[in-house]
Amino acid sequence: MYIAIIADDVAARKQYERLFDRSSDALRSTLGALYVETFGAPDTLLVGTPMKYGLFFIDLASESSVHTLTDQLRGMNAQGMVCICSDFVPQGLTDTPNLIYIAQNPNQRAIEMLLKEASVYNESINATEKIEIRTEGKTHYLLPDDIVYIQSQNQYLTIYLSDRTILQASGELKRLYDNTLTHDCFFPFKKDVIINTNHIVKKERHAVTLTHDIRFTLPPFSKNPLL
């Protein structure tokens, strides 16, 4: 499991890194390898690959920064557990899924308990039935929310993923939808486009906007099937 520590205080960041490293060593026999990476600002995390992290440990001085980062992770559909280090619960975040709080200045025991909880959470996520997508020379096993949309063109499929990866595969979109994309989140927005409704950011009369500002439009006199 990959762990991202986001803390804007240098001393606190180094202390958390030492705590997580010691806790990782103590739990290695039960949880396996744990990889800790630290970030001094949210932007340095977001320009990378947030989707790989099973735990986001956040300690930022500004409450608004905590709000913004949490919303950005949710908007990117990052699956990892989010842990906010705070002695109070910021308003407006209580409805955020996979989010917990831990008191300031946690000790090693608290971090070990957090890692165990994150491991259980990630196992439950990974137990979700995965979607098999075959590209040239490789088979990909994806969680439903890994996929933002799939578009067809001349018997070829473009699969756009939440981490901005683009897969190219051959096949018919309708067959893929009928036989493989059986989860309720997939919706045929247009004849040549299937979207993941969990990635919808905005619905308009003749358009829909998805994660990463991806926008699909309909002809002027067409009715948006999502409205």
Kindly compute the dihedral angle of the four CA atoms of residues 40, 41, 44, 50, in this order, to the nearest 10 degrees.
Answer: 100
- 137 Rama sector, left if φ>0, alpha if ψ -120 to 50, beta otherwise: left
Q: Tokens for 35, please give them.
A: 């990889």
Residue range of the domain that includes 209:
131-217
In a domain, 224, yes or no: no
Q: What is the DSSP string of 186-207?
A: EEEEETTEEEEGGGEEEEETTE
- Domain CATH for 159: 2.40.50.1020
Question: DSSP secondary-structure letter at 44?
Answer: H
Q: Give the separation between CA 135 and CA 114, rounded to whole angstroms.
A: 37
Task: Per residue of the chain (227 residues), give pLDDT as tens.
Answer: 889 999 999 999 999 999 999 998 899 888 888 889 999 999 988 887 787 888 999 999 888 888 889 888 877 767 788 999 887 655 544 445 578 888 888 899 999 999 998 888 887 776 666 788 888 878 887 888 889 999 999 889 999 998 889 999 998 998 888 888 888 889 999 999 999 998 999 999 889 999 999 999 998 888 888 87
97-117 burial by CB neighbour count: b if 16+ within 10 A, else e? Answer: ebbeebeeebeeeebbebbee
- Quick check: 198 and 185 in contact, CB under 8 A? yes
Which amino acid, 1? Answer: M
Same domain, 69 and 181: no
Alpha-carbon span 38 to 205, nearest angstrom:
43
Residues 34 and 146 in one domain: no
Do 113 and 158 have their domain in common?
no
State CA 70 to chain mean position distance.
Answer: 11
Are the C-beta atoms of residues 226 and 208 closer than 8 Å to each other? yes
Burial of 212 (0-12, 13-18, 19+ CB in 10 A): middle
Say if residue 96 is in the same domain as residue 13.
Answer: yes
**Is the domain of 108 the same as that of 196?**
no
Quote the number of domains for the chain.
2
